[in-house]
Each structure stands twice: as structure tokens, then as C-alpha cells.
Amino acid sequence: MTDRVLVFDTTLRDGEQSPGASMTISEKMMLAEQLERLRVDVIEAGFPISSEGDFESVRSIAEKIRTITIAGLARASKGDIDRCWEAVKAAAKPRIHVFIATSDIHLKYKLKKNRDEVLAEARQAVAYAKSLCPDVEFSAEDSTRSDLAYLARVVEAVIDAGANVVNIPDTVGYTFPTEYAERIQYLRSHVPNIGKAILSVHCHNDLGLAVANSLIAVQNGVRQVECTVNGIGERAGNASLEEIAMALRTRKDLFGIETGIKTEEIYPSSAMVTNLTGMIVQPNKAIVGRNAFAHEAGIHQDGVIKEKLTYEIMRPEDVGIKESKLVMGKHSGRHALRKKYEELGFNLSDAELEKAYILLKKVADKKKDVFDEDLIVTVRDALRIAPPVYKVKNIQSIAGNQVIATATILLEKEGTLLQDSATGDGPVDAVLKAVNRITGMEGKLIEYTVHSVTHGADAVGEVFMKVDFGKVSFIGRAASLDIVDASARAYVDAVNKMIPYQMALEVHNGKK
Ligand SMILES: [Zn+2]
């Protein structure tokens, strides 16, 4: 059997501590279900004593998610541990995660205790947690700035007290790979009972080394990594789950170690975290950035068209990015095109296919990549369909914490004004529903991001959304001083792309 490293996801705990990333209980549940599909080994669902809301979300996740371990965080005190156990005990596989700082700087300024006191507290807390829960993890907070011999004594004591996982976190993002490797090797050779526990790491990205530090730790015998989706977390964030999972998979030749991650769920997980937290992934972010698999340079593109392996070390589909572009190079021909059209619902005759192929070759010569939208435009032109276009004329929305969000929208279609209103969960939802009522479309938002393109209180917000209409999805984009207005215009933009597709499908299939 191949060696396996456990993936401990802390998006819901450490990730949620990112400024502005707080999620509601139902949003956390949605994310926990996605993490289950991603097949992480442990979900750290929250810090139960920190708030009523955190307690409630850990408790409901523990009840609902049955296939993986659900951990809650607790300081090394009876009150924290009791509250944590109360929250996780309904889980199929509960874990109590106890932590205390071990660096002199934390002991002196934060805990105001000496080393022996902290060691005794750590031992007691772990023993108490173990009396409640069979799975106990201990973290030595700020371990990378702790005295090594003292750290070894703490690790030995907590394993002796029953900790089956011991975490050596780089809480402040301070260590370097070579130094971290030495620290882990020291513990492995100086702690007599180290074999009784799984060693874990938890790295922060203050110096951009969180993933590198996590990977060197794995190479030095660590078998649990703590990480977050998109690398979100306090300050510069945590080690990014997707980068660790894909590094271990892509360089299996080097590591010989597997994770249980279903990599095809990486991109959907990343998109969900972006949507729920509003924290946009930088376009050049490894694995999940919008440009991670885009080749712009001519020479690269030529290589990729000839053979993907020339410049791609991973395939986008392996991380769950559905390729909507069709490369019309030498190797893709009529067969690929027919298949693509079939996916979109068009069964073209040989003559129609030939016509489409010639038209698309021209498009491909100009822009290399052909997208679903181009394929649809080709059919539309071939069928001579002139689709109507909706224009946003006016929007009124009412929202607030005491009123039901309501929106009224006035659209123009071929010179006719159409108006309708709807209520929703918030003003954006209401305005999209009002658009649905007029257009008869039923789009589902699968990505939604807002960012300001100018600064200050009167900043212009740009809304980017991906709208799923069933077989196809379209991107809508719009900018406005008002987010509701921008959202409505972006949604109408996507609807205007969907209409020709629907019409083409109807005309084409009707004529068969
Ligand atoms: Zn952390």
C-alpha cells in the first residue's frame, strides 16, 4: 500500500478567521458537504467556545457529516474542552484539538507562565480530553520559535497523556524548509514515544513558504497536513490545500505519497469558498487561479496544441476545470467538433458539420481558442436566427434588515418595455428573480464576485458571474456605482448569451 498523508482542512476555522471571511451556519454546512465530496480526512469545523454561532455550526456539522473526522479547537482548559466535546460528540468520528503555546515569547507575554507550568497544563488537558474522546490532537502553538529541547519534552508528555496526533505548527509563518526539516528530524529522534502519534504540520504563509514548509515536513515523516482551500486564513493565510494535493500528485515520483483528495473536486471547492467568503483568488494563483491553465505566449500555445505535455504538467480536468474551449489545431478535427456539438444538444448532419467546421476554422485562425459561445454563434448564423436582446432601463430595489428585499426592473426588448418585481434573499437575489420573471430564464449563479475598479466610497464595482443554465453556462460582466445595478446588468448579459443558444436548439431540433 502506498504511504498516505492525511489532509486536515481548517477552512472553516482558521480560514474563517481571515478578515471579512465570516460565513453563516448554513454556508458553513454547505462548505462542509463540499469538503466531504473533496474527501479531506479531517474537517476542523470551528472553535466551539469562541461564540454561540461557532458552537452551533460545529455541532450541526458533526451531526450531518458522517464519513470523515470532525474536529473542534480548544485551549488547554477544562471549560474549552467540555464545550468542544459537547459540540463534536455527535460526530461519527469526533476529535478534540487542544492547543497551548510553547515558545518563550508566548509564555512570557501571553500566558505569563513558566515552561514547567505550561508542560503540566498541556499534559493535564490532553489527559482530560482523552477521557472524553478517543481521538485527541495536540498543537504546540508557535512551535517553530520554541526551544527545541523543551518542545521535545512537551511532545513526549502529551503523547504519554494520550494525544494520538501531535501538531508542530508554524503559527507565525517564520520557519524555512531546511530548518523545519531539522526540527522535525530532531523530534523524531529525541522523543522516545514519537512512534505512537501521527505528526502533523500547520503552516502560515507570511513569507510565502507555507506550502513549501508543509511539503518538506511530509518528506521528513509528517503524515498530516493542515491547510485551507484557496490558502485563506489569518494574515497572509494558511498552506493551500489544492497546491499541496496537486504537488504530491504531480510529483509522486519524488514523494511516493498519496492523499485521499478527489482532485476533480478542487475547482468546485475553490469556487465555493470564493463565493461564500468574497475573497477573490488572484488570477495567477497556482492550480485554481483563472490563468493557471491559460497559455498566452504564441510559442507555448503552439506547443500545447501539438502536445499538451510540452507545457502542461497537470491537466485542467484533473482539478475539475471543465474545458469549454475547443482547440481547432491540426489534431482536432470534425470528430471532436461533432462531439462538442452533441454535448450542446445539436445533432448536426454531415453537410451542417462541414459548414460549421469551415466557419470555425476561420474563427480559430483569429483567436486560437474556440469557446462554446463561438459554436453557438456559428449555428445561429447558419440557421439565420436573430435573437432579441434585453436592455436594462431602470432598477429599483429596497433592502434592509427590517424589510423583505424587493426589486423592480424595467427591461427593453425590441422596443417594448417590460416590467416586473420580485422578492428574494437580499436585493441581488430579488433583482435576478425579477429578470427571470420577465425573460422566462432560470439561471443558477455558480460564481459571483464583486471587486472595486476604483477607490473610495464612490468606487465603481465590477460584477463577474458565471450563470448555469443547465447544459451550458455563460459569463456575465458589468460595472456600476451600485452593486445591485451591476449584478442585474451582468445577469442580463449572461441571459442575452443564453437566448440565441436556446433559440438555435429549438429551431434545429424542431426541423429534424
Ligand atoms: Zn493557524
* Per-residue model confidence as pLDDT tens digits over 120-129: 999 999 999 9
Q: What percentage of the chain exceeds 70 in pLDDT?
A: 91
Per DSSP, the residues of 199-260 read: EEEEBB-TTS-HHHHHHHHHHTT--EEEEBGGG--STT-B-BHHHHHHHHHHTHHHH-EE--
Cell numbers describing residue 180: 523545519
User: Residue 43 corresponds to which amino acid?
Assistant: I
Highest mean pLDDT among 333-337, 348-352, 429-433: 429-433
172 C-alpha to ligand 1 centroid (Å) = 8
15 C-alpha to ligand 1 centroid (Å) = 8
Q: How far is it, in rounded angstroms, from Cα 489 to Cα 39?
A: 37
Query: Which of 347, 382, 417 lies at the terminal end of a domain, its last residue?
Result: 382
424 C-alpha to ligand 1 centroid (Å) = 37
Between 6-10, 364-368, 400-404, 487-491, the lowest mean confidence (pLDDT) is in: 364-368
| 38 and 145 assigned to the same domain | yes
pTM over 0.75: no
Given a cut of 60, whether residue 331 has pLDDT beyond it is: no
Residues contacting 90, CB < 8 A, separation 6+: 59, 62, 63
| Domain assignment of residue 368, given as a range | 324-382
- The confidence score (pLDDT) of residue 298 equals 44
234 C-alpha to ligand 1 centroid (Å) = 7
Average pLDDT over residues 416-439: 94
| 420 and 367 assigned to the same domain | no
170 C-alpha to ligand 1 centroid (Å) = 8
| 245 and 194 assigned to the same domain | yes
204 C-alpha to ligand 1 centroid (Å) = 6
- The confidence score (pLDDT) of residue 310 equals 67
* Domain presence at residue 51: yes
Q: Which residues face 296 on adjacent strands?
A: none
| 39 and 117 assigned to the same domain | yes
Write the CATH number for 493: 3.30.160.270
| 129 and 14 assigned to the same domain | yes
| 216 and 362 assigned to the same domain | no
Query: Which of 217, 247, 277 lies at the terminal end of a domain, its last residue?
Result: 277
270 C-alpha to ligand 1 centroid (Å) = 19
* Domain presence at residue 32: yes
Question: What are 9-67's pLDDT values in tens digits?
Answer: 999 999 988 877 788 888 899 999 999 999 999 999 999 999 999 999 999 999 999 99
* Domain presence at residue 38: yes
Write the CATH number for 12: 3.20.20.70
232 C-alpha to ligand 1 centroid (Å) = 10
- The confidence score (pLDDT) of residue 10 equals 98
| 124 and 245 assigned to the same domain | yes
- Cell 485551507 sits on residue: 228
11 C-alpha to ligand 1 centroid (Å) = 10
| 254 and 334 assigned to the same domain | no
Query: Which of 365, 382, 399 lies at the terminal end of a domain, its last residue?
Result: 382
| 501 and 449 assigned to the same domain | yes
Average pLDDT over residues 348-371: 76
* Domain presence at residue 288: no
180 C-alpha to ligand 1 centroid (Å) = 16
Question: What are 261-296's pLDDT values in tens digits?
Answer: 999 999 989 988 987 887 889 989 999 987 787 654
284 C-alpha to ligand 1 centroid (Å) = 24
Q: What does pLDDT average to over the chain?
A: 89
* Domain presence at residue 52: yes
Q: How far is it, in rounded angstroms, from Cα 123 to Cα 117?
A: 10
419 C-alpha to ligand 1 centroid (Å) = 50
Rounded to 5, what percent of the chain is helix, strand, coil?
45, 20, 30
Q: How many helices (H) and strands (E) does the chain have?
A: 17, 18
**Structure confidence at residue 363 as a pLDDT band (50, 70, 90):** confident
The count of domains in the chain is: 4
Q: Which residues face 46 on adjacent strands?
A: 72
325, with CB counted inside 10 A (0-12, 13-18, 19+), is: middle
Q: Is 310 helix (H, G, I), strand (E, B) or coil?
A: helix
| 97 and 214 assigned to the same domain | yes
* Domain presence at residue 209: yes
Q: Is 499 helix (H, G, I), strand (E, B) or coil?
A: helix
* Domain presence at residue 345: yes
CA dihedral angle for residue 337, residue 338, residue 342, residue 346, rounded to 10 degrees: 100
| 369 and 446 assigned to the same domain | no
202 C-alpha to ligand 1 centroid (Å) = 7
Cell numbers describing residue 404: 423583505
* Domain presence at residue 284: no
328 C-alpha to ligand 1 centroid (Å) = 46
More confident: 386 or 416: 416
Given a cut of 50, whether residue 106 has pLDDT beyond it is: yes
93 C-alpha to ligand 1 centroid (Å) = 22
DSSP 170: B
**Structure confidence at residue 297 as a pLDDT band (50, 70, 90):** very low
Do residues 95 and 117 lie in contact, with contact meaning Cβ atoms separated by under 8 Å? Answer: no
Q: How far is it, in rounded angstroms, from Cα 435 to Cα 408?
A: 9
| 118 and 222 assigned to the same domain | yes
